[in-house]
Structure 1
């Protein structure tokens, strides 16, 4: 399990690091889905984007115990 991150003497919760990593991966996935034209098939893009981000964040949290 990941412990607190110490950045310049400030302790940061591990979920912040997971959130930043998930954000970067989400932007990469979003960019790739835009290139291949996937958004034409999605009924509600905003809802799909939230679900994609939560899925990526959950996979990161569960992958690094």
Structure 2
């Protein structure tokens, strides 16, 4: 999971709870808002793409 710590639409505390319950890895992005995780021009984008690579690499075919 990737979540900005400045996300006002879905507070990061919600992502923390979900990650803990689901056993997921949460990457908190300092200074990132709600839409930064889907904006290829944002500073958050390299973290998002690396998280996706990790998930895809670990996927069973």
TM-score by length of structure 1 reads 0.29
TM-score by length of structure 2 reads 0.30
**Structure with larger RCO (C-alpha < 8 A, sep 6+):** 1
Larger radius of gyration: 1
User: Greater share of helix residues, 1 or 2?
Assistant: 1
